[in-house]
Amino acid sequence: MKLTPEQLAQFDRDGYLFFPGLFTPKETKVLNDAVPALYARREAYNVRERGSDAVRTNFAAHLYSEPFARLARHPRMIEPVEELFGEKLYMHQFKINGKMAFEGDVWQWHQDYGTWLNDDLMPTERAMNVAIFLDDVNQFNGPLMFIPGSHKKGVVDAKHDVSTTSYPLWTVGNDLIRELVERAGGKNGGLVSPQGPAGSMILFHSCLLHASTSNLSPWNRVSVYLSLCAVSNHVRRFKRPEYIAHRDFTAIECLPDDCLLADYPVDLPWKDGMPASALVTSEATLKEAA
């Protein structure tokens, strides 16, 4: 999927692109049908909400689930990022965020690159998220909020919040958020919230500030996030478990565009269980690649 000159200019200006209904209902159903069995597993890679059995985040499903292994190689998700970086990509992180009805908690204001830099020693911000909605997203079920243009601020100061939710995050203070929202237009465009049907896709810069509120509605808001990193920009430290921050820097090779509906073979290295090595962490810094 090639980006148009207008889309390239919009991404540079706003830090994100939104593609409503990019995946068909049939394609989205294949993914949605696989989620309950993944969320039911009692594994370390399912992070649950604080005080609840609802899954907040499922990690690394592309290593043990065929539908998500195919999604991880889908040209509609991979090729636009390859075009923006001019380089092949590897999968830094793969997660299915479950902002479940009545139970989905907040995601505080943050930059993704802030976490990747502080925890993983990713050298630069040549990485970004591509998200696909598995449910319809509306104003009530905790949609993502962006501050358009905030990626141009670069990396900002953040604090490691380990207490607000069940998942630690490098979060940004309210004063800076207030300043950046005002700079982006205040009540006239300083905050945006892409909403649309299941199958919609968002691509956003790793320095773009974003957050989401809790989901008090009766509707789930499950989304899949591919965190794609330029191969030359791979992480330098394994402080986090492998199921969260991956250590395989092999370039992704795309499958054909119909891969969610056809039975293309995919490798599932964790299909028989997550290896013990995926829980091992290290503060040591990797040597530069030769």
Mean pLDDT of 241-270: 97
Percent of the chain's residues with pLDDT above 70: 99
pLDDT at 1: 81
Q: Tell me the average pLDDT of the chain.
A: 94
Predicted confidence (pLDDT) per residue in 19-78, tens digit: 999 999 999 999 999 999 999 999 999 999 888 899 999 999 999 999 999 999 999 999
* Residue-level pLDDT at 16: 97
pLDDT digit string (tens) for 136-173? 999 999 999 999 999 998 888 878 878 778 777 788 89
Taking residues 178-204, what's their average pLDDT?
A: 96
Mean pLDDT calculated for residue range 88-117: 94
Average pLDDT for residues 229-241, to the nearest whole number?
Answer: 96
| Region 79-101 average pLDDT | 96
Across the range 240-251, mean pLDDT stands at 96
- Above 70 in pLDDT, residue 290? no
The distance of Cα 216 from the centroid of its chain, to the nearest Å, equals: 22
HEC profile of 81-137 = HHHHHCCCEEEEEEEEEEECCCCCCCEEEECHHHHHHHHHCCCCCCEEEEEEECCCE
β-pairing, 107-110 with 210-212? antiparallel
pTM score of the predicted model: 0.93
Identify the residue with better confidence: 202 or 53. Answer: 202
Higher pLDDT, 289 or 156: 156
> If you search the block for the tokens 């607000």, which residue do you land on?
164
User: What confidence category does residue 289 fall into, taking pLDDT thresholds of 50, 70 and 90?
Assistant: very low
pLDDT attached to residue 111: 94
The set of residues, in sequence order, having a beta carbon less than 8 Å from that of 59 and lying 6+ positions away, is 45, 46, 47, 93, 94, 95, 243, 244
User: In this predicted structure, what is the pLDDT of residue 157?
Assistant: 85
CATH homologous superfamily for 5-279?
A: q2cbj1_9rhob like domain (2.60.120.620)
Q: What pLDDT sits at residue 287?
A: 64
- Give the three-class secondary structure for 177: helix
pLDDT at position 171 is: 86
Whether pLDDT at 261 is above 90: yes
Is residue 264 pLDDT above 90, yes or no? Answer: yes
Task: Please name the amino acid found at residue 93.
Answer: Q
CA proximity to 30, closest of 73, 85, 67, 74: 67
Give the pLDDT score at 78.
98
Mean pLDDT of 230-246: 96
pLDDT for residue 18 is more than 50? yes
Helices (H), 137-244: 174-183
Assigned token pair, 110? 């943050």
